[in-house]
Amino acid sequence: MTKFGEHWEASFREMVVEAGAKAIADAGIEGRELQAVYGGSMASGRLISQEHIGALIADQMGLAPIPSTRCEAACASGGVAFREGYLSIASGAYDVVAVGGVEKMTDVSAEDVAIALGGAGDQEWELFNGATFPAIYALMARRHMKEYGTTEEQMAACAVKNHANAMHNPYAQYHKAITIEDVMKSGYISEPLKLLDCSPITDGAAAVILCATEKAKKLYPEKAVEVLASSQASDTLALASRQSMTAMNATAVAAQQAFAQAKLAPKDIQLAEVHDCFTIAEIMAIEDLGFFKKGAGGKAAADGETALNAKISVNTSGGLKACGHPVGATGVKQVVEACWQLRGEAKGRQVDDAEHALTQNVGGSGATCVMHIFKRADRK
Amino acid sequence: MFKNVGIIGYGAVVPRMRIKLEEIARVWGKDGAKVSAGLNVREKAVAAFDEDSCTLAVEAARIAVRNHDAARIGALFAGSESKPYAVKPTASIVADAIGASPDLTAADLEFACKAGTVGMQACMAMVASGMVDYGLAIGSDTAQGRPADALEFSSGSGAAAFLIGKNPIVELIDTFSFTTDTPDFWRRQHAEFPQHAGRFTGEPAYFKHVLSAAKGLFEKTGTTAKDYDFAVFHQPNGKFPLRAGEMLGFEKEKIKQGLITPFIGNTYSAASMIGLASVLDVVKPGQKIFVVSYGSGAGSDALAFEAKKGIEAARQPEAVFDLIGRDKVYVDYAVYAKHRRKLKTL
Amino acid sequence: MRHALPLIWRKSLERYRLIGCSCENCGTDYFPPRKVCPKCRRKGKIAPKQMPTEGKVYSYSLVHAAPSGFEFEAPYHVAIVELANGVRLLTQIVDSDAAKVKIGAPVKMVFRKIFEDDCEGVIAYGYKFKAV
């Protein structure tokens, strides 16, 4: 993957090529061995006035004429691209495919980014009325505070922990430790969410190579990471139409399916990359995924139970908050982090004895959730 | 001719924000107390950023039709001189919003501050003729005044709507109008703020037309001021209506209930109509009401009404004096300038 | 222009009057209106229905960082309002002191300008709510 951050010199296509070339080199294959490409990008039309991203990726990577398809599911575009790649191999159609995620967000003004991201929600009935994405998560946060007594300090703890993790991730956008006080003092974006509760605007790309399990085990006995489960669920675009505003049903449904496929329980997972576009989202995620009881996520975060090598290591990459959130790339970055951790390559932020990792990637305010569970290669 | 035709429902709205005249005077280096006393206006209502004469019209219309089947409205006239669209009717938006559409005729009317009462006359004629079941007449303005201009001290925001039909709660006795070409106040196409002719707007304009229409109606109906319990006049400030009333023989007490401008400013097309609404808040069956509007340019409509038995049950839920007294928020000139888009970049 | 004119116009009746729909098969009300009842799907029978115009605040937020088109009104309240029939919608809360915008606070619909495309463009009107 590329480093995440504000890349004033690098264009969308340059970032794609950098991440793709690194993934191909890591796999030790030739580009011509790839049979298909799946690329996640949420809003390239709004952000760089460029659609037809699938073909663009194949073109720029020098992979044409292989099929190359763009996947879009708002902020879950990367995760969904990965799942499509996984399904294409699981179906037997291909043996080796590349999956990429990319977003170039700094070519337009922050206001235009906000409008582009707003497309992840219900434009006609929610964004139309003056809601913003922070506002939609703020509405969830307010309910969570009301129903479970979650506090602004508990939410802040997620940001503090993710910034601490990012200190050891060379690819992260921020290498700056912050305190609860820093978060609490930062200005309100949409009450009760403050600037430091929110993930930033980021450029970046990430890529992985997928290959059929038996072949991978043979080729890369030490390196290969196995996909144990892949699941995806949907919900209403409009927040107001949801049964609950303090739980994401798409996450709960996807989690149930993923754990059943993997024949694992939450306690078997050592690390999780969850979708913390806002701090409240991380609290809801660790509850909906079953790591903590509903309503206990805030306290767990404040008590340090999600810190590196605590009860469960959550967002060792720094999460969306501190590693950065190039929307289409995030879902693939989560997979990259899971691979590094399961291979034991996450220097400075390595989870001890990491055997199983989970990634949870959310689109919009929970209208899409895509989830994967990974297992490290059997060590000799 | 007008037997059994009149008002069957009414509603008035006033925006929540107020600015004191003293605050406006402070900005322009004038003596606020003197300006306020000179105009007999203490404060004026300020429409918010997301309000305009259309939203106020809809709110007033909803109150007026709340006990009636809006689909029976066959004519809807929205009177205003601060239309959100120079071309494109407010009336069609109101019709859609209150459920009167699509089987009706509708139009916006403009005659400075009397566009609303013209609408009432048209509706009453259409109901009387049997052309429509119900007619809805609205006066609504977010009145404009150029910064520092005399008008800025009095131009307020508000709306009133009257549903006209048969078996009225307030029956029309008769109406008389007086119109001449007298350019005392105008706004040219593309101009942001109106121009006015200073003191010319007094004697040859306001007083001549108001008094002529009033006397015309007295004569037509064979009545005098003594025959009425309430009188409402167009109220560009708090003083003109008192003087006009005095000249016509109305005691101050009869004018007080319908004199609203001192508390919310001149609401232009809505001014005499909000005054009438305030009278309907208290009038008893059998009492008579005398109304004279005035629109620059110039003309006056005089209307005489008698309250009927149904009036008590049909009063609006919030009386005008409640609206002007309750739940208001005072703003300073800067906040007022933002909401009324007097900053150049807005 | 942020919104194409037909996009604003197409749903204006629903926005002006709060017209949703109801599935006559299962009796569930929906706002915004849907073409298919998610509970009954092909067995459902969708018909337009006037929603109640009063409700209670279910959740709220004061928006400080406003999107373009709303920036001059910031900070403003958005809320999820639960209507008297249990249907929830996202709306702005106006004309209300912050102390009155709380979970459970009673609110009623008002008619307001939502945004203008620009000073010469079309105006989008619709519902907002205010504390009672």
Cβ separation C128–B55 shorter than 8 A: no
Mean pLDDT of A187-212: 98
Please tell me whether residues B22 and B163 are part of one structural domain.
yes
CB contact under 8 A, C113 and B58: no
pLDDT mean across residues, chain C: 94
Chain Cα centroid distance, residue A213: 23
Which subunits count as partners of chain A given 3+ CB pairs below 8 Å?
C
Tens-digit pLDDT profile for residues B53-79: 999 999 999 999 999 999 999 999 999
Question: One-letter amino acid identity for C5?
Answer: L
Tell me, yes or no, whether C118 and C71 share the same domain. Answer: yes
Residue A143 with chain C: CB contacts under 8 Å: 58-59, 103
Positive or negative: CA dihedral B180, B181, B185, B189: positive
At C117 the pLDDT is 77
For residue A74, give the CATH number of its domain. 3.40.47.10
Cα separation, A139 vs C93, in Å, equals 13
Is C103 found in the same domain as C63?
A: yes
Please give the residue range of the domain that contains residue A105: 12-376
Position A4 in a domain: no
* One domain for residues C36 and C92: no
C84 plus C115 within the same structural domain: yes
Contacts of C73 in chain A (CB under 8 A): 130
| pLDDT of res. B323 | 95
**Nearest alpha carbon to residue B185 among B248, B258, B130, B111:** B111
Residue B345 inside a domain? The answer is no
The verdict on residue A6 lying in a domain is no
| DSSP conformation letters of B281-346 | TT--TT-EEEEE--BTEEEEEEEEEEE-GGGGGG--SS-HHHHHHSS-EE--HHHHHHHTT-STT-
| C48 and C94 assigned to the same domain | no
pTM (predicted TM-score): 0.95
Query: Is residue B43 in a domain?
Result: yes
pLDDT score of B333? 97
Indicate yes or no: CB of A132 within 8 angstroms of CB of C63.
yes
CB contact under 8 A, C78 and A187: no
Stretch A188-197: mean pLDDT:
98
Q: Examine residue B230 and state whether it is found in any structural domain, yes or no.
A: yes
Compute how many other C-beta atoms are within 10 angstroms of the C-beta atom of residue C45: 11
In B159-270, which ranges are continuous DSSP H helix? 208-221, 240-248, 252-256, 261-264
Q: Indicate whether A5 belongs to any domain.
A: no
Name the residue with higher pLDDT: B2 or A300: A300
| Contact check, Cβ <8 Å, A140/C65 | no
Beta bridge partners of residue C96, listed in sequence order: none
Tell me which residue of A173, A131, A126, A134 sits closest to A5, measured CA to CA: A173
Residue B1: predicted pLDDT? 58
User: Active-site residue among B51, B54, B59, B113?
Assistant: B113
- pLDDT of amino acid C1: 46
Within-domain flag for A168: yes
Fill in the amino acid letter for A150.
T
Q: Which residues contact C98 (CB under 8 A, 6 or more apart)?
A: C62, C77
Q: What is the DSSP letter of A138?
A: H
Q: How far from C106 is each of A208, A280, C49, CA to CA, in Å?
A: 52, 26, 22
Q: Per-residue pLDDT for A380 more than 60?
A: no
> Which residues fall within 8 angstroms of residue A158, CB to CB, at 6 or more apart?
A276, A279, A282, A283, A301, A306, A319, A321
Mutation choice for A interface testing from C19, C30, C64, C113 by most A CBs within 10 A: C64
CB contact C4 to A (< 8 Å): no
pLDDT bracket for residue B3 (50, 70, 90): confident
How far apart are alpha carbons A272 and A338 in whole angstroms?
A: 8
Do B112 and B194 lie in a common domain?
Answer: no
Residue B155 is classified by DSSP as B
State yes or no: pLDDT of A324 exceeds 90.
yes
Outline where chain B has alpha helix (H): 21-27, 32-39, 53-64, 91-98, 115-129, 208-221, 240-248, 252-256, 261-264, 271-280, 320-325, 333-339
pLDDT tens for A15-71 read 999 999 999 999 999 999 999 999 999 999 999 999 999 999 999 999 999 999 999
> Which pLDDT tens digit goes with each residue over A107-131?
999 988 998 999 999 999 999 999 9
Q: Extract the tokens encoding B100.
A: 């009167």
Under DSSP, the state recorded for B172 is E
Residues C9 and C39 in one domain: no
The confidence band for A217, taking pLDDT boundaries of 50, 70 and 90, is confident
Residue B235 to residues B176, B273, B276, Cα–Cα distance (Å)? 19, 10, 12
In a domain, residue B294? The reply is: yes
pLDDT at residue B198 in the model: 86
**Residue of chain A whose Cα is closest to the Cα of C98:** A191
**Structural domains in chain C (count):** 2
Inform me whether the C-beta atom of residue C131 falls under 8 Å from chain A C-beta atoms.
no
Question: What CA dihedral angle connects B185, B191, B193 and B194, to 10 degrees?
Answer: 0
Residue B342 clears pLDDT 70, i.e. is over it: yes
Using one digit for the tens of pLDDT, what is the confidence trace for A243-301? 999 999 999 999 999 999 999 999 999 999 999 999 999 999 999 999 999 999 999 99
In one-letter notation, the amino acid at residue A155 is M
Quote the CA–CA distance of A58 and A39 in Å, as a whole number.
10
Q: What are phi and psi of C127, to 5 degrees?
A: -85, 140
Q: Which chains have 3 or more CB–CB distances shorter than 8 Å to chain B?
A: C
Residue of chain B nearest C73, judged by CA positions: B49
Q: Report the chain A residue with the minimal C-alpha distance to residue C76.
A: A130
Exposure string for B13-47, b = 16+ CB within 10 A, e = fewer: bbbbbbbbbbbbbebeebebeebbeebbbbbbbbb
pLDDT at position A379:
61
Q: What is the ipTM metric for this complex?
A: 0.96
Q: Scan residues 54-113 of C and list those with Cβ closer than 8 Å to A.
A: 58-68, 70, 73, 75-76, 78-80, 88-92, 103
Residue labelled with tokens 């059997």: A378
- List the domain range (segments joined by +) for residue B114: 5-169+313-339
- The mean pLDDT of C28-48, rounded to a whole number, is 97
Domain match, C11 and C41 both: no
Query: Starting from the edge strand earliest in sequence, which strands make up the sheet with A36-40, in order?
Result: A68-71, A36-40, A96-103, A204-211
Is A208 a residue whose pLDDT tops 80?
Answer: yes
CATH of the domain at C127: 2.40.50
Nearest to C65 among A136, A141, A190 (CB): A190
Domain count, chain B: 2
Is B97 within 8 Å of C111 when comparing Cβ atoms?
Answer: yes
Q: Are the beta carbons of A191 and C64 separated by less than 8 Å?
A: yes
Q: What is the pLDDT of residues B269-288, one digit of tens each?
A: 999 999 999 999 999 999 99
Residues in Cβ contact with B128 at an 8 Å cutoff, skipping those fewer than 6 apart = B1, B2, B5
The encoded tokens of residue A220 equal 């890369």
Residue B124 falls within a domain, yes or no? yes
Do B165 and B142 have their domain in common?
yes
Q: Compute the distance between CA of residue B296 and CA of residue B290 in angstroms, rounded to an integer.
A: 20
Residue B24 has pLDDT above 60, yes or no: yes
Indicate the residue of A114, A192, A239 with minimum beta-carbon distance to C67: A114
B42 and B158 housed in the same domain: yes
Mean pLDDT for chain A overall: 97
Beta-sheet pairing, B5-13 with B170-182: antiparallel
Helix (H, G, I), strand (E, B) or coil at B221: helix
Q: Are B156 and B265 in contact (CB under 8 A)?
A: yes
Helix (H) or strand (E) holding B173: strand B170-182
Which band of pLDDT confidence, cut at 50, 70 and 90, is reported for residue A377? confident
Contacts 24+ apart (CB under 8 A), A110-114: A110/A201, A111/C67, A111/C68, A112/A46, A112/A47, A113/A47, A113/A201, A114/C65, A114/C67, A114/C68
Lowest-confidence region among A104-113, B53-62, B210-219, B226-235: A104-113
The CATH number assigned to the domain holding B295 equals 3.40.47.10
Number of domains in chain A: 1
Query: Over C59-118, what HEC string results?
Result: EEEEECCCCCCCHHHCCEEEEEEEECCCCEEEEEECCCCHHHCCCCCEEEEEEEEEEECC
Average pLDDT over residues C60-83: 95
CA distance C106 to chain B (A): 16
Compute the distance between CA of residue C132 and CA of residue C105 in angstroms, rounded to an integer.
Answer: 8
Chain A nearest C-alpha distance from C63 (Å)? 4
Residue C72 to chain A, least CA–CA distance (Å): 12
Element spanning A362, H or E: strand A356-363
Domain that holds residue C25: 19-52
Residue A109 is classified by DSSP as -
- Give the three-class secondary structure for B2: coil
pLDDT at A258: 98
- Which amino acid appears at position A290 of this protein? G
Structure tokens at C22: 């109801």
